[in-house]
């Protein structure tokens, strides 16, 4: 089996690899889970270990919803998206059946599985895969990003440890704070304060994927400590960084574009 991968995509992250095998938990994000080779199973009542499990190839878990997924074998894809951005609304509109906790069965399921499998097997490059998935799922930046916002995004990525306050970013872009906020959300799909969190998470994961210790990765991304990073990561994704590391292949993940 090919190595697990993490592919960054603005205010979203795509994981491709073996299932995590986690106990019932909640995520601050929304999660599109796709069984790339076999159906996954979703508990009707995650608090009841004897509950019925529903089989599906794709399920969208809503933010802060207690859930339990299981899969016997094969690779999984998990696309994490911010609950305050426009991605979640776009994904819900592309699911066939909805329940209070989750929505099931992507309308473009076969196409999404084909692209995600190509990404997992390195037959499709990350940039191309993001574009193809964005078209099918309705997620990602709309149109061409303005030069001013693109420059702000590069600055945030290059120096994730900085505070990146609104007034500073707006001044660098020669925009008023209110105009900058409007353009930033229009083009990234999420508010600035949420993007800052994703940017730091991505920087820490990048550093970890390059061999940095958890403490080194946390400091490089601007977190006060490894404990702060682990807590923020757990709140967002429903697991700790060490949970993720254990689920990945022994050689470690391939981390792209975060």
Residue 184 lies in a domain: yes
Q: Among the three residues 111, 137, 163, which one is the final residue of a domain in this structure?
A: 137
Same domain, 70 and 178: no
Distance CA(207)–CA(213), nearest Å, equals 8
Q: Among the three residues 137, 167, 195, which one is the final residue of a domain in this structure?
A: 137
- Look up the CATH number of the domain holding residue 98: 2.60.120.280
Residue 131 lies in a domain: yes
Residue 111 lies in a domain: yes
Same domain, 83 and 175: no
Same domain, 132 and 152: no
Same domain, 77 and 51: yes
Same domain, 44 and 94: yes
Angle at 193 between CA 213 and CA 60, to 5 degrees: 80
Distance CA(187)–CA(182), nearest Å, equals 9
Q: Which residues of 58-80 are buried (b: 16+ CB within 10 A; e: fewer)?
A: bbbbbeebebbbebeeebbbbbb
Same domain, 114 and 48: yes
> Structural domain tally of the chain?
2
Using the Cα atoms of residue 173, residue 162, residue 214 and residue 27 in order, give the sign of their dihedral.
negative
Q: In 3D, which of 238, 239, 245 has the Cα closest to residue 211?
A: 245
Residue 256 lies in a domain: no
Task: Give the pLDDT means over successive 10-residue stretches in the chain (258 positions).
Answer: 80 90 90 96 89 95 93 92 93 93 95 97 95 94 78 94 95 96 92 94 86 89 92 88 67 64
Q: Among the three residues 83, 108, 137, which one is the final residue of a domain in this structure?
A: 137
- Please answer whether residues 63 and 102 qualify as being in contact, where contact means their C-beta atoms are separated by less than 8 angstroms: no
Distance CA(229)–CA(219), nearest Å, equals 9
pLDDT given at position 258: 65
Residue 257 lies in a domain: no
Using the Cα atoms of residue 219, residue 223, residue 226 and residue 229 in order, give the sign of their dihedral.
negative
Residue 53 lies in a domain: yes
Same domain, 21 and 126: yes
| Alpha helices, H only, 189-251 | 192-209, 214-220, 226-237, 241-247
Same domain, 18 and 70: yes
Residue 185 lies in a domain: yes
Distance CA(56)–CA(235), nearest Å, equals 26
Q: In degrees rounded to 5, what are phi and psi of residue 186?
A: -60, -35
Structural domain for 36, as ranges: 5-137
Same domain, 96 and 180: no
Residue 253 lies in a domain: no
- Look up the CATH number of the domain holding residue 192: 1.10.10.60
- Please answer whether residues 255 and 201 qualify as being in contact, where contact means their C-beta atoms are separated by less than 8 angstroms: no
Q: For the chain, what is the largest distance between any 2 Cα atoms, rounded to a whole number of angstroms? A: 59
204: left (phi over 0), alpha (psi -120 to 50) or beta: alpha
Same domain, 101 and 189: no
Same domain, 112 and 161: no
- Please answer whether residues 46 and 24 qualify as being in contact, where contact means their C-beta atoms are separated by less than 8 angstroms: yes
Same domain, 125 and 232: no
pLDDT given at position 51: 87
What's the whole-model pTM score? 0.89
């Amino acid at each position: 089996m090919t190595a697990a991968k993490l592919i960054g995509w603005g205010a979203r992250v795509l994981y491709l690899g073996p299932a995590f095998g986690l106990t019932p938990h909640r995520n601050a994000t929304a999660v599109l889970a796709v069984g790339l080779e076999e159906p996954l199973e979703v508990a009707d009542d995650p608090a009841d270990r004897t509950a019925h499990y529903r089989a599906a190839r794709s399920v969208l878990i809503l933010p802060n919803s207690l859930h339990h997924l299981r899969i016997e074998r094969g690779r999984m894809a998990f696309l994490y998206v911010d609950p305050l951005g426009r991605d979640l609304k776009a994904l819900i509109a592309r699911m066939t059946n909805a329940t209070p906790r989750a929505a099931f069965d992507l309308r473009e399921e076969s196409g999404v599985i084909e692209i995600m499998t190509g990404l997992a097997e390195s037959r499709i490059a990350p940039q191309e895969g993001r574009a193809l998935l964005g078209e099918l799922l309705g997620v990602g930046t709309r149109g061409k990003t303005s030069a001013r916002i693109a420059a702000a995004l590069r600055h945030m990525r290059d120096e994730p440890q900085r505070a990146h306050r609104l007034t500073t970013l707006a001044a660098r872009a020669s925009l008023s704070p209110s105009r900058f906020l409007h353009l930033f959300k229009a083009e990234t799909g999420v508010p600035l304060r949420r993007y800052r969190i994703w940017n730091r998470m991505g920087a820490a994961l990048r550093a970890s994927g390059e061999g940095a210790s958890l403490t080194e990765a946390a400091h490089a991304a601007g977190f006060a400590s490894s404990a702060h990073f682990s807590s923020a990561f757990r709140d967002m994704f429903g697991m700790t960084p060490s949970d993720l590391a254990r689920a990945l292949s022994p050689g470690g993940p391939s981390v792209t574009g975060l």
